[in-house]
């Protein structure tokens, strides 16, 4: 009688405290880390708390986060796209070539998004139609897309972009709130709603947890994955527009190494690299964490190569630490 009553009390008590679960979540830990980094940066540099400096800090992550939102859904489904930075290079090269031919801003927007969409379709066909592993396919297309950009540009650079095109990467909507930051916020809300509030998002989780079970439950696995690759390519095209607009030029090395930073951002945000779990709010907080870290290091004149080492170590850490923690817990039990 007593054991039964204790069991009945224990289960509802644990399930009826969402606040406790929230405080123990990965997102809560990331938020604490973000606050600590913000505080440390404010003491490390007297220029950090300037409103315009903080606005400039957002450029360290907004473009990468645009891709990261789509990449999060793709990784949750059990796939990955390592060609995103090369898609940016190819889309930017196509826009630069169009400018030399006299294209205006509307045409550049269409070309940037169109190239991204085509590259995403190319990846999707090889993965979903031919059934090849996404990591192998996208490593190949990473070299392909970047190689095409290098062949077209050589050691040259494209410039001469229209003045109104610069608004997307350098413009401000109001006060210190840049166009890119507003796009980042809108995309965060959109992808958050898509993943957490729709049947499509539930299908993504189901595929990532057990693709075979999802298939037998009526989910069109190939179609869902195809759409996810298209979204990742499209977001890469949008990032190419913003980055090219902000820099005002196109070089073969544009966005070089960004695929590592995007994947790090997504995994740091709590998305399981093996698929099946993760949240968009986690990716949002992780984007701010990485942006604050890189901006703080930049204010301290830390070389870029050191930042790359830090990002590499961070990626290894966020993948390895949860596994080590679970093994330690299993041994204790």
Q: What CATH number should be reported for the domain holding residue 249? A: 1.10.3470.10
Residue 101, token pair as written in the block: 């031919």
Both tokens of 301, joined, read 């004149």
Within a domain: 113: yes
Above 80 in pLDDT, residue 257? yes
Q: 258 and 64 in contact (C-beta within 8 Å)?
A: yes
8/54: higher pLDDT: 54
Q: What is the pLDDT of residue 249?
A: 93
Nearest CA to 269 out of 254, 290, 239 is that of 290
195 in Cβ contact with 204 (< 8 Å): yes
Range of the domain at 155: 27-321
Query: Residue holding tokens 């984007």?
Result: 287
Residue 6: inside a domain, yes or no?
Answer: no
CB 162 within 8 A of CB 105: yes
329 occurs within a structural domain: no
- The domain tally of the chain equals 1
Cβ atoms of residues 59 and 121 within 8 Å: no
Residue 15 lies in a domain: no
pLDDT at position 4: 44
* Cα 312 to chain centroid, rounded: 16
Predicted confidence at residue 13, as pLDDT, reads 47
> Residue 52 domain-assigned?
yes
DSSP H or E segment with residue 79? none
131 close to 149: Cβ distance less than 8 angstroms: no
- With respect to residue 2, please indicate whether it lies within any of the assigned structural domains: no
Predicted pLDDT of residue 9: 40
pLDDT the model gives residue 20: 59
For residue 8, is it within any domain? Answer: no
* Residue 277 and residue 208 in contact, taking contact as beta carbons nearer than 8 Å: yes
Residue 60 covered by a domain: yes
Q: Give the pair of three-digit tokens for residue 263.
A: 């994947």
Nearest to 257 by CA among 317, 319, 293, 308: 308
Q: What is the pTM of this model?
A: 0.89
- Rounded Cα distance, 313 and 37, in Å: 17
Question: Could you tell me if 185 and 174 are in contact, meaning their C-beta atoms sit under 8 angstroms apart?
Answer: no
* Digit-coded pLDDT (tens) for 166-224: 999 999 998 889 999 999 999 999 999 999 999 999 999 999 999 999 999 999 999 99
CA dist., res. 173 & res. 180, Å (int): 9
Instruction: Specify the higher pLDDT residue, 150 or 50.
Output: 150
């Amino acid at each position: 009688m007593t054991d039964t009553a204790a069991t009945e009390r224990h289960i509802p008590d644990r399930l009826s405290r969402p606040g406790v679960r929230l405080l123990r979540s990965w997102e809560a830990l990331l938020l604490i880390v973000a606050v600590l980094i913000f505080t440390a940066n404010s003491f490390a540099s007297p220029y950090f708390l300037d409103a315009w400096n903080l606005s400039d800090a957002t450029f360290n992550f907004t473009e990468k986060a645009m891709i990261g939102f789509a990449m999060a859904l793709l990784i949750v489904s059990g796939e990955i796209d390592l060609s995103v930075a090369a898609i940016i290079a190819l889309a930017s090269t196509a826009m630069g070539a169009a400018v030399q031919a006299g294209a205006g801003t509307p045409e550049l927007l269409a070309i940037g998004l169109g190239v991204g969409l085509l590259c995403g379709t190319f990846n999707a066909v090889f993965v979903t139609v031919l059934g090849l592993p996404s990591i192998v396919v996208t490593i190949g297309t990473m070299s392909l897309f970047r190689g095409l950009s290098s062949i077209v540009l050589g050691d040259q650079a494209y410039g001469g972009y229209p003045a109104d095109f610069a608004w997307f990467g350098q413009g401000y909507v109001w006060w210190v709130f840049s166009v890119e930051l507003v796009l980042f916020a809108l995309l965060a809300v959109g992808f958050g709603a898509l993943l957490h509030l729709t049947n499509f998002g539930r299908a993504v989780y189901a595929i990532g947890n057990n693709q075979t079970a999802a298939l037998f439950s009526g989910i069109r696995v190939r179609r869902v994955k195809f759409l996810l690759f298209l979204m990742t390519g499209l977001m890469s095209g949008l990032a190419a527009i913003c980055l090219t607009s902000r820099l005002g030029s196109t070089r073969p090395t544009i966005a070089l190494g960004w695929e590592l930073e995007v994947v790090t951002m997504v995994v740091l945000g709590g998305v399981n690299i093996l698929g099946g779990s993760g949240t968009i709010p986690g990716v949002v907080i992780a984007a701010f964490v990485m942006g604050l870290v890189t901006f703080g290091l930049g204010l301290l004149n830390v070389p870029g190569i050191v930042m790359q080492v830090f990002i590499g170590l961070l990626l290894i850490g966020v993948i390895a630490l949860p596994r080590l923690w679970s093994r330690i817990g299993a041994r204790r039990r």
